[in-house]
Amino acid sequence: MVSNSSYSHRSRLENTITIGQRISGWPKENTVRGRYYLSQVLLQQAEVKKSLSDRVDGLKMEEASKQDLDGLLKLDDSDIATKHRGDLPMLFDYLVHWENRLVTPRKAIVPATSVAACAIQTNGTGVMEDTVAALNERNQAAFNSNINRVLKVHAHETDERVDLPIESVI
């Protein structure tokens, strides 16, 4: 049985997209992003209901949104498309206003060991040592914050099974 909430996601998405397209100022990027998520809802429903028609509709919609995504990303000068290739939630969010995004990229964390190695190499130059120590401290703080978030997410998962895109965690 499909839960009522799956229908409410679907109908909310469908209604919002339909109304949005009618109003002035609604960017087509919002529609493209909305349709991608709608396709994912359809595919999830298809899996649960074993419905071939939902699966076909979902796949068609997903393909169309990916094509729109590719087309729209061509308007961009940055390397986002190659840097985050395959991370669809990140890329679809990139299309829209930054304040509407739900996925923000995260800075790569330099492993503490490589920073320590750097400290040994620069031993003897006081200024560099200070910089490295500060870097180390910052990275440790970032690492702790990250671990806390991962733990929080996992704690969350135990009662409601959150399905997080990996990039939003790391």
Interface residues with other proteins (CB under 8 A) are 1-3, 5-6, 8-9, 12-13, 15-17, 19-20, 22-30, 33-34, 37, 40-41, 44, 47-48, 72-73, 75-78, 80, 89, 94-107, 109, 141-143, 145-146, 148-149, 152-153, 156, 160-164, 168
Closest distance to other proteins from the beta carbon of 161 (Å): 4
String of DSSP letters for 98-119: GGG-S----PPPPPHHHHHHHH
Could you tell me which residues come within 8 angstroms of residue 110 by beta carbon, excluding any fewer than 6 positions away?
Answer: 135, 139
Q: Which residue, 20 or 59, is less far from other proteins as judged by CB?
A: 20
Report helix, strand and coil shares of the chain as percent, to nearest 5.
75, 0, 25
Q: Which residue, 26 or 122, is less far from other proteins as judged by CB?
A: 26
Instruction: Write out the two tokens for 128.
Output: 């560099």
CB 68 within 8 A of CB 32: yes
Closest distance to other proteins from the beta carbon of 69 (Å): 10
Closest distance to other proteins from the beta carbon of 52 (Å): 18
SS3 at position 18: helix
Q: Which residue, 123 or 157, is less far from other proteins as judged by CB?
A: 157
Closest distance to other proteins from the beta carbon of 134 (Å): 14
Q: Which of 56, 16, 54 is nearest to 35 (CA)?
A: 16
Q: Which residue, 18 or 53, is less far from other proteins as judged by CB?
A: 18
Let me know the angle formed at the C-alpha of 18 by 15 and 20, rounded to the nearest 5 degrees.
100
Instruction: Write out the two tokens for 119.
Output: 């400290």
Q: Which residue, 23 or 52, is less far from other proteins as judged by CB?
A: 23
